[in-house]
Amino acid sequence: MEKIITYFKGVKAEWGKITWPDRNQVFAQTVIVILVVFAFTVITFGLDIIFKGMIQVFCEAMKHIGLMH
């Protein structure tokens, strides 16, 4: 039990040393994260459309030469 009390006293002491970001910094970093996620979403969507088109062209070519039904 003594180790647990010592542990939480240490946690309390370290908690006071934390420097929290201010509101503007949190807002700016949140906006950056949202923009990066949006950009990767658009890129992934674009790649999906490109690969889907390539697969359709490939399948049509295979049907045309009689390798697919």
Domain positions in the chain? 20-69
Across the range 37-64, mean pLDDT stands at: 96
Give the span between the Cα atoms of 8 and 24, in whole angstroms. Answer: 31
pTM passes above 0.75: no
What are 20-27's contacts with CB under 8 Å, separation 24+?
Answer: none
CA atoms within 13 A on the CB side of 69: 0
Across the range 1-26, mean pLDDT stands at: 94
Whether 69 shows a pLDDT value over 80: the answer reads no
pLDDT band, residue 4 (cuts 50/70/90): very high
